[in-house]
Chain A
Amino acid sequence: MWTVSDETLVAGLASGDHDAASAFVQRFQRRVYGLARTIVFDERAAEDIAQEAFVRAWKHAGAYDPRRGSVVGWLLTITRNLSIDAVRVRVPVAIDPAALLGYDAASSERGPVDHAELADDRERLRAALARLPEEQSRAVVLAGLLGYTAREVGEIEDIPLGTAKTRIRTALLRLRAVLVTEEHTE
Chain B
Amino acid sequence: MSDVSALSCAQVRELAAELALGILSGAERAEVLLHVNGCARCQAYVAELTEAADVIPQLAPEAEPPAGFESRVLRRLDGRERSVRRRWIAAAVAVAAAAIIVSVTVVRVIESNDTTTRSVATQAFGTVGSAPVAVAMEGGVVPRPAGWAFVHDDHGVAVSVDYGIPSGRYAVQVTSARGASTSIGTMEVVEGRGTWTGRSADPLRAGARVALVDANGAEACHGTVPTA
Contact A33 B64 (CB under 8 A): yes
- Contact mask A30-65 → B, CB, 8 Å, 1/0? 110111011100010011001100111011101101
Query: A132: which B residues are within 8 A, CB to CB?
Result: none
Closest to B65 in A: A33
Query: B52: which A residues are within 8 A, CB to CB?
Result: 125, 172, 175-176, 179
| B178 touches A (CB below 8 Å) | no
Closest to B103 in A: A68
The interface-forming segment of A1-9, A16-24, A106-114 is A16-24
Query: A50: which B residues are within 8 A, CB to CB?
Result: 65, 69, 73
Contact B57 A143 (CB under 8 A): no
| C-alpha spacing A14/B48, complex, angstroms | 28
Query: A72: which B residues are within 8 A, CB to CB?
Result: 58
| A90 touches B (CB below 8 Å) | no
Closest to B76 in A: A55
17 A-B pairs besides A14-B89, A37-B63 with CB distance below 8 A are A26-B70, A29-B65, A34-B62, A47-B66, A54-B76, A58-B80, A62-B93, A63-B188, A68-B105, A69-B105, A101-B60, A121-B55, A122-B58, A143-B23, A149-B24, A173-B17, A179-B51
- Contact mask B37-76 → A, CB, 8 Å, 1/0? 0000000000011011111111111111110011011101
Do most interface residues of chain A lie in helix, strand or loop, or is the interface mixed? helix
With contact pairs A33-B65, A47-B65, A68-B105 given, residues A148 and B48 touching in the complex (Cβ less than 8 Å): no
Tally of A-B Cβ pairs under 8 angstroms: 182
Query: A56: which B residues are within 8 A, CB to CB?
Result: 167, 190-191
- Contact mask A151-177 → B, CB, 8 Å, 1/0? 000000000000001001100110110
- Contact mask A130-148 → B, CB, 8 Å, 1/0? 0000000000110111011
Contact B191 A51 (CB under 8 A): no
Query: Which of A79, A100, A143 is most buried by chain B, counting CB atoms within 10 A of its CB?
Result: A143
Contact A122 B59 (CB under 8 A): yes
Contact B188 A55 (CB under 8 A): no
Query: B48: which A residues are within 8 A, CB to CB?
Result: 176, 180
Query: Could you say which of B24, B53, B88 contacts A144, with CB atoms under 8 Å apart?
Result: B53
With contact pairs A122-B59, A176-B52 given, residues A65 and B192 touching in the complex (Cβ less than 8 Å): no
B154 to chain A minimum Cβ distance, whole angstroms, is 31
Closest to B50 in A: A69
| C-alpha spacing A155/B96, complex, angstroms | 41
